[in-house]
Structure 1
């Protein structure tokens, strides 16, 4: 008997263990290359509701697509004075996002054919519908300026939505945007920044049907402008839309800052004439193309036609 066998025999009888030689590991063969399956096509970023009657509570909402400093708050106040139209402060609902905390939750919802953007649309609709129900009115009007950047998604979320496009002289928008925060935005920065909103509004006008309102027409002849808008919405014009009441100025002070050149107009509770249009030499070069697109004359004197 060899020494190893003697040791294993004695060790085994005493402890139940034995000693054995360690064999070198076999050389590993390279792993076979696996074929990477073709990537699945990405689903659309957003889509219309699969079941509109159950997926949407809000019916025929109205979205005012407008640049910053274009008079959208003034228009909101006038529309909100209508007995059937609820126009709350800017809701910024598009910034509400949904995230699944686990893969299991994500898989469970996928069985229901609900993706992330579908869930976000359900949340948006619920928030806006809740606001409308609380008002006791029949139609919601929303006017957050940044909605212009997602106009196509709004149309997908609410296929029955109606759109109102609010325009103002581009140079007047830029001037007001600068005056709202002159420390943060010098005149040149204000013009370039406001132009982003104007271009988004123009893209929306090209893509969606709707009704166009001009700030200058709203302030020069508010009744005519509001009558035409009510006709588009299928509502009767109400005189209180022009005399919308100074009491709501407190709401503006609490919820929307930087009203600038027409804060006093809101405090009076009546739509009043706006400022004169900018002189030709006051129109920044970067805004002249937009002036042409929106049919505004470079010189003062009103809207070009």
Structure 2
């Protein structure tokens, strides 16, 4: 059975796996709007106790101000009117998911599109939280060769960690994605591969559209046409999105990674790489000191994730607002499809 229309779309994956390219491809669809990467969804989720019971309109206003006014939220990248957005949140349903959905819906209306979503690579760590906010969500997980992700991350000026942490990040993205796939099922979770996407965009995007319940549109294969609108100018590391789809960066790990990094990648990530169709180079086994370093990093990250899960479970026993989830998407859309202000 085809999924119902207008479900929330979330794009995620390891950082530098091509999620911005996929965002633009989806944004090129005549019915779908995926905005530039924001910072307010998880921030609002983890700050929700500050706003109290959202059945109180004053608390909804405080939440709306938090989303719209904070510079770090990147609300300004969406091109929306702050006052109007605040008013719509205050007048909307009393749940956090609905407040967040109001912002994304406003972005979709900018382009006269009925369907909206969000993209952020690190969402792979927060799939449970996203499902609580948007119960109808469809997760789209983009996978890229882990060695390319590591090689790309270590060359980003904004990346504050080392290549060992990047390896642990890629492993997490695969592991958490696999767990979500089992839990959510084929109607709500879909994975595709960066290398296949750039090699055969029409075929891969057609399959993705079938999952989303949408008709494929050829414009999706020309994401560079919307890059000026959907990628903030300050993100200079996304210059390739302004060009036609190409394989220029695929396989670049051979030049970007040092021999010890290749060995460590293929030792600790080897089974995951092979399982996802990536061939190993035959590099020698990593040195014991590098393996111990990876184990420390991976363990620390797993423990931090577990601690966050336990904290959230405790919080949910005493939620200020009984229901976090977006009110039924269909009813929200009916409420908000009135005439647009000029």
TM-score bracket relative to the smaller structure: 0.5 to 0.7
Gaps of 5+ in 1: 1-57, 110-115, 301-305
Give the CA deviation at 1:66: 1.3
CA distance change for structure 1 residues 108 and 83 in 2, over 3 Å: closer, same or farther?
Answer: closer
Partner of residue 157, structure 2: 181
Give the CA deviation at 1:169: 0.8
Give 2:245's match in structure 1, choosing from 248, 253, 271.
271
Please give the alpha-carbon distance, in whole angstroms, between the structure 2 residues aligned to 1:121 and 1:275. 37
Please give the alpha-carbon distance, in whole angstroms, between the structure 2 residues aligned to 1:100 and 1:253. 30
Corresponding residue SS for 1:213? strand
Give the CA deviation at 1:296: 2.3
**2:236 aligned with 1:286:** no
**2:43 aligned with 1:95:** yes
Please give the alpha-carbon distance, in whole angstroms, between the structure 2 residues aligned to 1:78 and 1:235. 13
CA distance change for structure 1 residues 119 and 180 in 2, over 3 Å: closer, same or farther?
Answer: same
Corresponding residue SS for 1:179? coil
TM-score of the aligned structures, taking structure 2 as reference length: 0.58
Please give the alpha-carbon distance, in whole angstroms, between the structure 1 residues aligned to 2:201 and 2:247. 9
Give the CA deviation at 1:257: 5.0
Give 1:206's match in structure 2, choosing from 182, 194, 201.
182
Give the CA deviation at 1:241: 1.1
**2:147 aligned with 1:171:** yes
Partner of residue 91, structure 2: none
Measured against aligned partners, the alpha-carbon deviations of 1:54-90 in whole angstroms (never above 9, x if no partner) come to: xxxx941111131111100001111111111111111
Give the CA deviation at 1:178: 0.8
Please give the alpha-carbon distance, in whole angstroms, between the structure 2 residues aligned to 1:83 and 1:183. 34
Give 1:227's match in structure 2, choosing from 193, 206, 213.
206
Deviates more, 1:140-149 or 1:198-207: 198-207
Partner of residue 9, structure 2: 62
| Counterparts of residues 69-84 of structure 1 (less than 5 Å) | 69-84=16-31
Moved segments of 4+, more than 4 Å: 105-109, 278-281
Gaps of 5+ in 2: 57-62, 64-93, 283-342
Partner of residue 192, structure 1: 168
Q: CA RMSD in A?
A: 3.1
Give the CA deviation at 1:247: 5.7
Give 1:85's match in structure 2, choosing from 32, 37, 54.
32
Give 2:103's match in structure 1, choosing from 127, 140, 150.
127
CA contact (8 A) 2:9 2:137 kept: yes
Which of the two has higher C-alpha Rg?
A: 1
Q: How many residues align?
A: 228
Deviates more, 1:227-236 or 1:176-185: 176-185
Please give the alpha-carbon distance, in whole angstroms, between the structure 1 residues aligned to 2:217 and 2:159. 41
CA distance change for structure 1 residues 163 and 217 in 2, over 3 Å: closer, same or farther?
Answer: same
CA contact (8 A) 2:26 2:33 kept: yes
Higher helix share: 2
Please give the alpha-carbon distance, in whole angstroms, between the structure 2 residues aligned to 1:128 and 1:246. 21
